[in-house]
Structure 1
Amino acid sequence: MSKAKPRVFEYVEPIGARVLVRKDEPKRQTKGGIALPDAAEIPTITGRIVAISAQIENDEDLPLRQYDKILFHPKSAIPVDFEADNQLYVVPVEDIVAVFRRESSEGEAAE
């Protein structure tokens, strides 16, 4: 009888002031209906934070959490060759320009 090998799962853990982001699919059309050419270069892109470094997790001045949707500048983003449809990037915090937030209307109803 052969022993089954234990499954080993690999993951990427960002170090320093960096986050791991899964880039959103590029938009091929604007909200107004204008089709964008494939070669159109948009200087900022959106994505979801997959993992954050311990440094960011312990920094109360950085309002970043796992699964936040962010807008980031890809200048210093490092692609991670980890998945077949490589959409993962390690992004320095200084290249994150915005975090998308939703305001809850529950507080308004109570007043």
Structure 2
Amino acid sequence: MASQVAAMPKTAQKIKKLVPLFNRILIKRDDAPKETKGGIVLPENSKTKILKGTVVATGPGTRTEKGEILPMCVRVGDEVLLPEYSGARVQMDENETYFMFRESEILAKFE
């Protein structure tokens, strides 16, 4: 196990250490396009907030009153549609920013 952890990139090792609880989901937002399809470079201040992201980690799910765990609707690797003003920012490195959402806050899943 130690050799597998040593072989992983540092970012992947940090994500492995961060495990969402209950119905929480860790998301990596997609990057804003740097240029248009026609090749025009977009200035930094004109970029819109990207509402699409990839699931990086999930918690086990919500518990019912009887103590049973309801499984999550999304899995690691799923692409999801995010709300514009929600989620808690999680800064892993200077360059890596993730967002933590509750499962009920996710708007849709792309198939």
**What aligned pairs does 1:58-69 form with structure 2 within 5 A after superposition?**
58-60=69-71, 62-69=72-79
Residue 14 of structure 1 corresponds to: 20
**Residues 13 and 31 from structure 1, CA distance in 2 versus in 1: closer, same or farther, beyond 3 angstroms?**
same
1:54 aligns to what SS in structure 2?
coil
Residue 94 of structure 2 corresponds to: 84
Q: Are 1:48 and 2:54 matched, yes or no?
A: yes
Amino acid across the alignment from 1:87: T
The structural deviation recorded for 1:32 is: 8.0
Q: 1: distance between equivalents of 2:73 and 2:40?
A: 34
Residue 23 of structure 1 corresponds to: 29
Higher-Rg structure is 1
CA-atom RMSD, angstroms?
Answer: 2.8
**Residues 100 and 30 from structure 1, CA distance in 2 versus in 1: closer, same or farther, beyond 3 angstroms?**
farther
Q: TM-score, normalised by structure 1?
A: 0.63
**Residues 70 and 31 from structure 1, CA distance in 2 versus in 1: closer, same or farther, beyond 3 angstroms?**
farther
* Pairing partner for 1:70 from 68, 73, 80: 80
The structural deviation recorded for 1:28 is: 4.0
Deviations 1:10-30 (A, max 9, x none): 421111221001111012456
1:94 aligns to what SS in structure 2?
helix
Q: 1: distance between equivalents of 2:18 and 2:33?
A: 27
Q: 2: distance between equivalents of 1:54 and 1:23?
A: 21
Which shifted more, 16-25 or 79-88? Answer: 79-88
The structural deviation recorded for 1:51 is: 0.5
Q: Unpaired segments of 5 or more residues in structure 1? A: 1-6, 102-111
The structural deviation recorded for 1:39 is: 3.4
